[in-house]
Each structure stands twice: as structure tokens, then as C-alpha cells.
Amino acid sequence: MDERMEIALESQNPWWSSGEFETGVDRLFRFPQIERYLNIQEVLLIVGARRTGKSTLVYQIIRSLLDQGVGREAILYINLDEPLFLSMADDPTLLSSIVEGHLARHGRKIQRLYLCIDEIQNYSYWAPAIKTLYDTKSTIKCILTGSVSTLLKQEMSTRLSGRHFSITVYPLTFAECLGFQKTEYPTIMQMREAFGKYLKYGGFPRVVLEPDESMKMEILKNYYETIYLKDIIFPNRIRKNSEIIDLLYYLISHTGTLLSYNKIAETLQISTDTVREYIEYAENAFLLSTLMKYDYSLKKQLANPKKIYAIDPGLINAVSFAFSENRGRLIENVIFMTLKRAYESIYYHKGQYECDFLVSVDRQITHAVQVTQSLKEPKTREREIRGLSEAMETYGLPEGTIITEYESDEIETDGRRIHVIPCYTWLTRNGQIL
């Protein structure tokens, strides 16, 4: 290992010397499965959009290991966003030379090496290198982070099938934001105020902790540009940058609305295949998520219009429309992302009327959820109850939920009960439905 590499690693592993390093606000307790995964050989893959806190979570894992008595030299952290390592991304021996060099210097002190690698997708040969380590060195535990799911999933499913577990890290939930701001027992007014800020600026940890509100938006714009450049345009070698930038702006400006790929293609004057391909890239970068209509036929699910949601309301506000004019749509986006964290399968219902979200557990529709800013307008109230009631009747549900900004109520209709819940109350349960 040459001197430049040693200097870079010493900088990235401060616990080898001083032992002082920043671990941020604790989120490790939010991922109880991590502790179980650390005690087995399988690779732990932590994925998610950039700046969601994956690296900080790894630092918290390292702090936990040190507190448990793991030796300092038994933890090797490598950040592959480091310019030196980026310049060596096409060197097939990079990873093996770092690991072998570290073991040559400290191997006698190490019974088990915890190898933590940040932004693993930056290294061209990461999958075969990790597989070789897994197959030949059972005393090495690999903990990896990555920001581009397609690159990671393809390699994991082929080379590392059955050899890994994965965890997805999202921006902070509303409940986590309250914790970050040390608001343990908030009043209703405090929760309303906090939710207003969450709706405007979202849950990226750095943004939540930034006191300057104008700076929050600058940071969010920077995040957006970094995601579409580093995780969409560059890895997919997109040449017509303007096409995907226009498409992303269009989608983020129309979150929560029914969208047809053909109509998008016609509007932006690009091919339908290009629209479908670019949306897939954005999903793989964790920027956007697609919601399909529920149907017993998978073919019909795929053929029906989709809804698109963004990973964070702050990005929506930084990129597209005016905040005050689209509050209801932003609330719907927040509810979707919270449901996505809590449940594996989410759909929308569309019959004669529409219901925003259906939750499926073990291929059975278990919950129906409608989202609206307010039920005060009679036409809105009628529309929202009608759509939810149709969904409840269609799937045999005795109860349903309408999430509003501030209102609460209990409604009986056709022998079924509808719970009207303020969004800040529902969100503090992290999306768990009655």
C-alpha cells in the first residue's frame, strides 16, 4: 500500500489514533435489525438516496462496535467518494490491496475485521472483490453503503445472491424530526408548527439541523443536482441531459397525479420508451417512487396510469411549484413516503371513484387511506368519503382512514367507520394505521 493511500485511510479512520469522530444524532435505534446482521457473516448493504444519513449511520455502527470492546484496528472504513480512490476505480486490485495491507500491519490484533465501505458503487470491481472476501475470509464482515440501487441490486442478485441483507435509509420521518429538534412532548401547536416546517423543508438530516431557512433551500437544490448528476446522468451515460432534466421537473411538479407514459412523452416530445427508462433511473437513484393501481391482474396493473411521488417534500419545494398553492399534494407525498417505510406493498384504488392509498399485506388489502388538506368544503368532503367508501366496500374493509392537515372526526357510513386524523398525529405513529 503506497503512502498516499495510507494517509487517506488514516484520515478516514480517526479512531485508530485520537478516537474522536462525529456520529451525529442517534438513528441506530431506528434500525434494530442492524445489530442482528452484525453478528452473522452475510454482507450488510445500506442503501438510499444521497445525504439521507447512510454514512452517519455507519459511524454510529462503528461507535457501537468500539463501545462493545471491538479493537480500533479491527474496524476499517473506506469512503470511495475520496478523490484518490475515485481515480483508482478501475483498478481490480484496489480493494484487495487495501485489505491485505491493513491485515499485514494489524492482523495479529484482529480476530474479526469489520470492513465498512461507503458509496461502494463508485468502484467498478466491487462485486467480485466483495464476493472473494466473503468466500475466502470468513473473519471479515462487510458493511457497504450505496446510492444507486440498480447497480447494487443487479450485482447482488448475480454475484452475491444469498450472501447479503439490505436496509434502506430514507430522509427523516416527521417523528424523527421532532426527535432531532429535541421536542419530546410537543403541544398540538408545536406539532402543527413543526409539521409546517417539515412539509416545506422535508427530512434530510442536514437540512433539518440548518437554522438558516434560506440556506435550507440552497442545500436542497444542491442535493437535487447532485442526485440527478451523480446517480442518474453519469452512471447511465445519458447524453441528452436536457431531456431527463425536463422530465424530472415535470414529474416532481405533478406528484400525486395520475400520469400516462404516453401523455408525458407527447408533452415533452420524447419517446414513451425513453420516459419509462428515465423514470426507472430516477427510481433507482431513490429520487422518485411509482405507485400503481391495484388490480388482481399484474398485466392490468402495469398498463394503468401511475402516480409518481418524490422522496422528500423539501426537494419538491426546492425544484418545482409554490409551496402554499400545493399544500394538499405535499401532504399526500409525505403520507405516501411514510406508508412506503411501514409497508411493503402500496397501491391506489380507481373504480368509479378514487382512493389515494391501499395497503396490501400478504397479498391481502388490509387498509384504505384517503388524504386531503381539509374536509370543510362540502364537495371535497363528499368526494373523499365517496372514494374511500368505494374502496372499503370493494375490498371488504370495515374501517378506513382520512388524513387531513388539522381536522379529526369519526364518520359512520353504510355500516363502516371512517377515522379522520390530523396528519401530525398519524405521522407520530410512523404510518401505522388503526
Domain total in the chain: 3
**Bridge partners, 252 (sequence order):** none
Same domain, 164 and 175: no
Q: What does the pLDDT read at residue 148?
A: 79
In a domain, 331, yes or no: no
From 326, 361, 390, the end of a domain falls on 326
Q: What does the pLDDT read at residue 303?
A: 85
In a domain, 338, yes or no: no
**Bridge partners, 78 (sequence order):** 117
**Tens digit of pLDDT per residue, the chain (434 long)?**
788 999 999 999 999 998 789 999 999 998 999 999 999 999 999 999 999 999 999 999 999 999 999 999 999 999 999 999 999 999 999 999 999 999 999 988 899 999 999 999 999 999 999 999 999 999 999 999 998 775 666 667 677 888 889 999 999 999 999 888 777 778 889 999 999 999 999 999 999 999 999 999 999 999 999 999 999 999 899 998 999 999 999 999 999 999 999 999 999 999 999 999 999 999 999 999 999 999 988 787 888 999 999 999 999 999 986 655 689 999 999 999 999 998 989 999 999 999 999 999 999 999 999 999 999 999 999 999 999 999 999 999 999 999 999 999 999 998 999 999 999 999 987 544 43
Same domain, 356 and 412: yes
Same domain, 205 and 305: yes
In a domain, 245, yes or no: yes
This prediction has a pTM of 0.92
Same domain, 151 and 185: no
In a domain, 334, yes or no: no
Same domain, 151 and 226: no
Q: What does the pLDDT read at residue 154?
A: 67
Q: What does the pLDDT read at residue 427?
A: 94
Which CATH number goes with the domain that contains 228?
Answer: 1.10.10
Same domain, 296 and 350: no
Q: Beta 409-413 vs 399-404: how paired, if at all?
A: unpaired
From 294, 326, 358, the end of a domain falls on 326
Which 3-state string (H, E, C) describes the chain? CCHHHHHHHHHHCHHHCCCCCCCCCCCHHHCCHHHHHHCCCCEEEEECCCCCCHHHHHHHHHHHHHHCCCCHHHEEEEECCCHHHHCCCCCCCHHHHHHHHHHHHHHHHCCCEEEEEECHHHCCCHHHHHHHHHHHCCCEEEEEEECCHHHHHHHHHHCCCCCEEEEECCCCCHHHHHHHCCCCCCCHHHHHHHHHHHHHHCCCHHHHHCCCHHHHHHHHHHHHHHHHHHHHHCCCCCCCHHHHHHHHHHHHHCCCCEECHHHHHHHHCCCHHHHHHHHHHHHHCCCEEEEEECCCCHHHHHHCCEEEEECCHHHHHHHCCCCHHHHHHHHHHHHHHHHHHHCCEEEEEECCCEEEEEEEECCEEEEEEEECCCCCCHHHHHHHHHHHHHHHHHCCCCEEEEEECCCCEEEEECCEEEEEEEHHHHHCCCCCCC
Q: What does the pLDDT read at residue 433?
A: 47
Q: What does the pLDDT read at residue 153?
A: 66
Of residues 125, 132, 116, 117, the one with CA closest to residue 151: 125
Q: What does the pLDDT read at residue 298?
A: 79
In a domain, 391, yes or no: yes
Q: What does the pLDDT read at residue 434?
A: 39
Residue carrying the nine cell digits 434560506: 214
Distance CA 156, CA 159 (A): 6
Q: What is the residue range of 409's domain? A: 343-434
Same domain, 17 and 119: yes
Same domain, 238 and 349: no
